[in-house]
Structures are given as structure tokens and as C-alpha cells.
Amino acid sequence: MNKEKKIIFNVPKLFGNELKNLNQLEQKQFSANGYYTQKCRQWLIKNVKCKDAHLVHSCTAALEMCALLLKIKPGDEVIMPSFTFVSTASAFALRGAKITFIDIDHKTLNIDANLIEKNITKKTKAIVIVHYAGVPCEIDKIQKISKRYNICLIEDAAQSILSKYKNRALGSFGDLATFSFHETKNIHCGEGGALIINNKKFLKNAYIIKDKGTNRDAFNKNLVKKYSWVGIGSSYGLSEINALFLYNQLTIAKQITFKRIRIWKQYKKFFKILEDEGKILTQSIPLHSKLNGHSFFIIVKRSIRNKLINYLKSKKVMALFHYIPLHSSPFGKKVSKNKNKLKFTDLKSESIIRMPLHLDIKTNDIIKIKNLLIKFFHKVNNNTNL
């Protein structure tokens, strides 16, 4: 029998204290906007250095709130990369927006900042950037464009908690930003997310949109005499049970991030030999950036990508790929405004392999994967230089 240990792609970590004070919630509340929601909110305000933060049930919910705050209506246009998770686009498509998908930078797989300006029209209402794998976009360049054209900038920072650009946390640059606390992210509570507000014009309305279109928050703060239905909104809050869970992870977020970065660096070190031989490309850290160790990916020749994933699988190593580019997905085609050719999006989405990265990954696992890669490239002979 083959007793070799499986190297799993992601293990949502439990540190043991997540529900430590659950019975104390009984005297308080289990629904949203209670004590632990406040604690998480304060953590976010302090660590992201934002004007306000809302705990919500997913990053998807936070993105939907962005579209509502911007009053996106049918015919409006939103610029974003195609190489991202569905929610980045679906939140805006839900309001009837046309999506202008643009290509990615071939190194970071983040939106190509040089392509944004020429895709702006009179109808453009937002630029949504995604810091892929926790690696910052070219924020300076993009902020300048958003200011010059007076178009809102939104950071989908789902993967980017505690990553930094010029020593400032990601999520603090856009008018609005979103985080995910889904179990596949660095810090999690099963399902969860946050909406970050940096532009004060959105401060008040965010409470109404989050709370079913009511002014209950103002009522709770004694700012109005009764609470009623005052606008559109939905039920976006996070249950206190999840908020408690999340808060207990946030209190050790820096240690978690430190450990992930250590694993990321080990991949980088052990895979160097393969990169030097031209077999793979690995991520590099852009100027002024501090990563959070969210994800480590490699780029291989398109023609061998699936073979290599299957080979690793046969050796009990779970390596994965994503995304099917949104501009070529069935619904993405319907909502996209332009038919831009997205060369690097197409190429990279078919050449990327994401390595297992979670806190149970050991140095020996990484060495084992490296040796498997060497073996694989030996087998497929010398025609595989990139």
C-alpha cells in the first residue's frame, strides 16, 4: 500500500480558539452588528487605516454594496481585468453594467495599468482592480487615472489582507475596497467579507445598504427617532457567530501572514533551479510591495500545463489552476462591452499552476514538489524551455 502523504492544496486552519467565547454571545446577540462585529471593524480600521469598515457575509456581498453605493445602472460601464473571480464582475452585472475587460500584466497577472485610460468612456463609472495573489497592482499609476477622470477606484482586495504598497495596507487606496474571509483566504471564518470605505461620501449610505435599506444604525445611535425604510439595500451583515470566529483569527493575523510568507519564500528558493533552467517562471515581488503569502504560482509552457497538474496529482500533490477568463465565459461574453483581445489573460490562464500553500506545508513537502518537477521536466525532454 502506498502510504505517501497527500499534499493538499488548501487546509482552512483552525487554531482552536475561534469559538472560545461562544457562550458569552448568548447574553448579547447572534445576529449581525453586535460586539464582535465592532471588534473586527476596529481591527480593520486600525490595520487597513481606513475611514470605516463593514463586516459582511462575503466579499461578493461587499462588491455588490460597492455597485449599490455607486448607483450603477443599466448602460454604465465598469473597467476590470478578465483574469479574476466571477464576483468581481457579477456584482456590477447585477446592476446592469457593461463590463470592459482589459488585459493583465504578463508578470504579476494584475490589470495592465497602461491599458486603462484608452478604455475609459463617458459611461465609465468605476475602475475595479484586483490585487491577484495578494500582489499589489500599480496603484500610483491607476490612482492618477482615476483622479484625472474623476472615476471611482475600487480595490478587490479579497486575497490581500495585510499586503502592502509603499508601506500602506492594500484596501486603503481605493474609494472603496473589499476583503474576503472565505475559508480559501489567509484569514477566514468559513464565509465572510468586509467593505472598506476610504471616501467619506459613502460613509452614511453604506449603513443603509447593509441593513436592508433601513436607517436602523442611525436609530441605534440615537440619531433618528424611529427607524424605517429609507432606500435600497439588502441583508449583507455577518452573523456574530462568524464575527467571533473571525475576530479570534484577526488577533493572530500577523503571525499567520508571517508563516505564509515563510512558505512562499521557500517555494521561491527551492524552485530557483527550475527557473534558472528556463523550465518555469515564478512570481517576483514588484517594487514598493510587501506580499502576504496568499498564493504561490508558477507559469509553465501552455502545452504541458495540464499534463504537469495530472502528474503531480498522480504523486498525491494537489496543484490547481484558475481562472477561466471572464471575457470568454458564457455570461461574461454577454455582459462585456468590448471585444478587446486579451492576449496575456488567455495565455497565462492556460499556463498557470498554483502550488499548495497553507500552514501545514512543511519544507519537506516543498522539496518533494521540487523533485517531482525536476523529474517531470526530465521526462518531457528538452523541448520545454519557455
Ligand X SMILES: *Cc1c(COP(=O)(O)O)cnc(C)c1O
User: Given the rule CB under 6 A, which residues bind ligand X?
Assistant: 58-60, 84-85, 87-88, 130, 156, 158-159, 180, 182, 193
Per DSSP, the three-state class of 227 is coil
Per DSSP, the three-state class of 282 is strand
Between 33 and 84, name the residue whose CB sits nearer to ligand X: 84
In the chain, beta strands by DSSP E: 52-56, 77-81, 98-102, 124-130, 152-156, 164-165, 168-169, 176-180, 193-197, 281-282, 289-290, 297-299, 352-354
The residue with cell 512570481 is 283
Please give the grid coordinates belonging to residue 251. Answer: 488577533
CB of 118 to ligand X, least distance (A): 24
CB of 59 to ligand X, least distance (A): 3
- The C-alpha angle 191, 196, 199, rounded to 5 degrees, equals 160
Between 200 and 322, name the residue whose CB sits nearer to ligand X: 322
CB of 203 to ligand X, least distance (A): 23
CB of 328 to ligand X, least distance (A): 18
CB of 335 to ligand X, least distance (A): 16
Q: Give rounded-to-5 percent helix, strand, coil for the chain.
A: 40, 15, 45
Between 160 and 266, name the residue whose CB sits nearer to ligand X: 160
Between 18 and 156, name the residue whose CB sits nearer to ligand X: 156
State the Cα–Cα distance between residues 107 and 112, nearest whole angstrom.
Answer: 10
Between 34 and 134, name the residue whose CB sits nearer to ligand X: 134
- The C-alpha angle 325, 330, 331, rounded to 5 degrees, equals 90
Residue 291 CB coordination number (10 Å): 25
Return the amino acid letter for 168: R
Helix (H) and strand (E) counts for the chain?
14, 13
Between 34 and 193, name the residue whose CB sits nearer to ligand X: 193
CB of 16 to ligand X, least distance (A): 23
Between 171 and 193, name the residue whose CB sits nearer to ligand X: 193
CB of 224 to ligand X, least distance (A): 31
